[in-house]
A and B are shown apart, each in its own frame.
Chain A
Amino acid sequence: MNIFSLIFQNLRRGPVSFRLPHKHECTSDQYRGLIVNDAERCVGCGLCAYVCPTAAIVVTRSGDNYSWAYDAGKCTFCGRCLERCKPHTLSMESQLPPLYSTQGELINVLDMVRKRPVRPAPASPAATGNPATAATAEAAPATPAAAATEPAV
């Protein structure tokens, strides 16, 4: 009859499960939550989308504009995007992802203008005292477009 004493104890102790939606109060410091992108610093290189194994991140380019879309429903929280993000603009929340009931409810889309990192302007020939450099600089006037370089992808 041990089973009946166990049942009685269970009734007395109360349930250990919880009713959803349930909010966990704390998670560990290194908890892998939702991916957050810092739009101010993102350069739109698309590496995160390239390495994402489940295509949770999609980067769409149109000229100098691009959109960075993240679908938490597809994300496996592996963290590969964070490892490859050179400007370190991606981070993961330390809280549990919120519960959602509709497919695609947590999709986060950021529309941004692509930022082109500008190389430091070469030193002026007068300053360096190199006539060859000065001649080249005069022959090919520097333009912002020419000075811009494609980010390494």
Chain B
Amino acid sequence: MNLTGLIHFFVFPGLLFAVPAAWFYVWGERKAVARMQRRIGPPLLQPFYDFVKLTGKRTPSRHGIEADLLRLWPAISVLSMIGAIAMLPVFPSGRGFSGDAVLLVALLELPSICFILAGFTSGSIYGEIGAIREAVLSVANNLVFLLSIVTIAVTEKTFSLTDMAGGSWNPGHWIGVFGILLCIPAKLRLNPFSTSSAEQEIYSGPLTEYAGAALAMWELAHGLEWVALTGFVATLVMPAGGPWWFHAVFFVVVSFAQVLLLSTLAAATARFTLQRAIRFYWRWAAILAVLDVSAAIYMRYRG
């Protein structure tokens, strides 16, 4: 890894930017939903306070492989998310490699897999139910998510993130972005796709048995998921030209606009049952995605 890669991983858009941004986005979501419900909402530093408070908690001790695994899953999630954020082509520098979009998709999916594994590892019945729900929902939304990325890739004739980014005027590109936007609520476990962590039914789902520093890592991983997914969409719609600071500002503004949009959706909707969530993705969204990817492939070989 060269110096630029290290800067991307540790400074911007990686660790140094991503962690405060994660707390800021989580605060933005909580604050926006609170205002929509006529509450004041948390202060700006509340997610940071929560993190610090959780890391200082004494937790019930577990022993053996189970304890190690329960600590491992959130650590993998945090690292994969920082890796995914560092890969985002915020600046059109031509870095990256051919096919790095596939690696990004894999990294974006790791927290969901870890979330499922955490539920089964915890041994809690609520954790297992939440893990099953997350697994089913993941299969449902990933069909549309992957087809949307394939649509953009076919439209732009590449699987390189740098080439896929840059706000092409091709309709297939924008329909693909719309498809990704449709999947983000499910990937972030927001209403109406919050069945896997439905606190009124199964407490926190897979995180029911978590406490202290491990739970703090999960909260951080969730915030980083916000940064990665909204940042991914922001890079896909980012204009190609302009100075470096414009790209940085555009990246943050568009990401935060998505946070507000998704918060409005979460505040306006009730939780879907698992069947309704699957029906939404596999019937309506999948039809749209299949038609879109078919049209993109047809257009490519036609012209």
Q: Residues of A with Cβ closer than 8 Å to B?
A: 3-4, 7, 10-11, 13-19
Contact = CB atoms under 8 A, between A and B. Distances in A.
B38 interface: yes
A19 B268 contact: no
Interface string B7-49: 0000000000000000000000000001111111100000000
B38 A4 contact: no
B257 to A, nearest CB: 16
B38 A13 contact: yes
Given A7-B267, A7-B268, A17 B39 contact: yes
Interface of B: 34-41, 264, 267-269
A18 B41 CA distance: 9
A14 B268 contact: no
Contacts of A11: 35-36
B268 A16 contact: no
Nearest to B35: A11
29 contacts: A3-B268, A3-B269, A4-B264, A4-B268, A7-B36, A7-B264, A7-B267, A7-B268, A10-B35, A10-B36, A10-B37, A10-B38, A11-B35, A11-B36, A13-B38, A14-B38, A15-B34, A15-B35, A15-B38, A15-B39, A15-B40, A15-B41, A16-B38, A16-B39, A17-B38, A17-B39, A17-B40, A18-B40, A19-B40
The 9 lowest CB-CB distance pairs between A and B, nearest first, are A3-B268, A7-B36, A15-B40, A17-B39, A10-B38, A16-B38, A17-B40, A15-B38, A19-B40
A68 B26 CA distance: 49
A10 B39 CA distance: 9
Contacts of A13: 38
A148 B228 CA distance: 82
Nearest to A7: B36
Contacts of A3: 268-269
Contacts of A17: 38-40
A107 B264 CA distance: 46
Contacts of A7: 36, 264, 267-268
Contacts of A10: 35-38
Contacts of A16: 38-39
Nearest to B36: A7
B103 to A, nearest CB: 38
Contacts of A15: 34-35, 38-41
A95 B62 CA distance: 47
Contacts of B264: 4, 7
Nearest to A13: B38
A26 to B, nearest CB: 22
A17 B40 CA distance: 6
Given A10-B37, A10-B38, 11 more contacts: A3-B268, A4-B264, A7-B267, A7-B268, A11-B35, A11-B36, A13-B38, A15-B39, A15-B41, A17-B38, A17-B40
Contacts of A14: 38
A13 B37 CA distance: 11
A7 B36 CA distance: 5
A15 B38 CA distance: 4
A110 B76 CA distance: 58
B24 to A, nearest CB: 20
Nearest to B32: A11
A13 B40 CA distance: 12
A19 B41 CA distance: 9
A4 B40 CA distance: 19
A12 to B, nearest CB: 10
A17 B37 CA distance: 10
Contacts of A19: 40
A37 B109 CA distance: 64
B269 to A, nearest CB: 8
A21 to B, nearest CB: 13
Nearest to A8: B36
